[in-house]
Amino acid sequence: MMAIAKAIIEPSVKLISGHKLPLVGFGTWKSEPNTVGEAVKAAIRGGCRHIDCAAAYQNEKEVGLALKEMFTTGVVKREELFITSKLYNTCHEKHNVRKHCEITLNHLGLEYLDLYLVHWPVAFEYTGESLDDPMNDDGSAKVINVPLQVTWQEMEALVDDGLTKSIGVSNYNVQTLNDLLTYCRIKPAVNQVELHPYNTQPLLKWYCERNDIHLTAYSPLGSGQLVNDPKVAEIAIKYDRSVSNILCRWAIQHGFSVIPKSVTPSRITENLSIVDFTISDVDMEQLNALNKSLRTCDPADFWGLPMFS
């Protein structure tokens, strides 16, 4: 399954929903205002056809303006792009799911999403369109009791009504996925989690493969933790590739899609150039052996909550 985008051949995976997801994507997390739009345009011009967004990133309006320019100037057609967004923790209540999906569509200037994810398997007190994290005096998040089943039923309704083609989850572990599969009418097509050689999550990988849930790897460089690892550097030199190339290629060879982020045009192009080489089995095992279950995106740090995936 190969999708040709300009000069770049981008492999894709067919999701359980029947739609194809390009394995090489572009992430918009932590992109500063007045930079993310140009970065998205650079990624699209470079051949990227998978753009990962989220309401919580607070930059979807700027992303939407970039998409509009790409459409109106004929650089790409809407149907050629795979665009993901996510429902934030403060929006899990039944009456807020569709409302905030529609807000995201309005910000992005789209009629539909290709994939809509439940960002985290936890519900917070509603804070309106600002999506501010509601915090208790002790520094923990104000969690409310909204069963994940209630939220998922509303996600399924979004598919029924054509607001998104596929639905999925993010930061779900085996336990939360197993629970979801007992009541879902539409199975999650994707689980987006932190995956890299320092955090390989073999049990989650096994479970998702067994249940036809595709894994997308965010923070493929371990939020920079892997950049100076001597073994990764050694392998990068061996293949005459950048460390980023090696880490993203590691994800692809595990069958994950990957969404590296950058606002530098040269690095954006570099991150897309990972489909024309293969890491040997021996070197893949050396990268796998770096695993130390290190999480760089841990809700215990910013919400005082246990990790989910």
- pLDDT of the residue at 10: 61
Q: Rounded mean pLDDT of 268-290?
A: 92
Q: Which of 57, 88, 198, 218 is catalytic?
A: 57
pLDDT tens digits along 218-231:
999 998 899 999 99
Dihedral pair phi/psi, residue 115, rounded to 5°:
-150, 130
pLDDT tens digits along 206-259:
999 999 999 999 999 998 899 999 999 999 999 999 999 999 999 999 999 999
Q: State which amino acid sits at residue 163.
A: L
End-to-end CA gap in the chain: 29
Q: What is the token pair recorded at 64?
A: 């939407």
198 part of the active site: no
CATH class (in words) of the domain with range 2-291: alpha beta
d(CA 104, CA 240): 40
Output the pTM of the full model. Answer: 0.94
